[in-house]
Amino acid sequence: MKVTIYHNPRCSKSRAAIKLLEDRGIEPEVIEYLKTPPDRKTLERLLKRLGIGPRDLMRKTEPVYAEAGLADPNVGREALLDALIAHPILIERPIVVADDKAVIGRPPERVLEVLGIL
């Protein structure tokens, strides 16, 4: 099983998720999404696997969320995707993908769900 984690090394939850995986002998492919942001196609694939919309993937406490007016319910899907691409800091983390499943690792133990451990 290939496991990928969209990771921010400054995030304690993200670091904890990697440790949980490694403690189980899983060496995930690590994508530091702030250095290598996902493109639109990748974001769409992640959202589909997560079963959520773009607003649900956003970190609403980030200053850019308010500054860009993203809390406005009239902001459409395409504009939200554009914002996630332009400002990857908005992407909730960590995201762990295993095969066709994905989960946001908050709390970090949720990453075990995609492995069939929980």
Query: Residue 57: is its pLDDT beyond 60?
Result: yes
Position 115 scores a pLDDT of 85
How does 48-70 read in b/e, with b if 16+ C-beta sit within 10 Å? ebbeeebbebbeeebeebeebeb
Instruction: Say which of 1, 4, 5, 11 is annotated catalytic.
Output: 11
11 a catalytic residue: yes
Name the pTM for this structure: 0.93
Match domain 1-33+93-118 to its CATH number in 1.10.10.10, 3.40.30.10, 3.30.470.20, 3.20.20.70: 3.40.30.10
- Domain positions in the chain are 1-33+93-118, 43-92
Question: What percentage of the chain has pLDDT greater than the value 70?
Answer: 99
What's the pLDDT band for 35 if we cut at 50, 70, 90?
very high
Sheet holding 101-104, edge to edge: 29-32, 3-7, 95-98, 101-104
Q: What is the mean pLDDT of the chain?
A: 95
Position 118 scores a pLDDT of 57
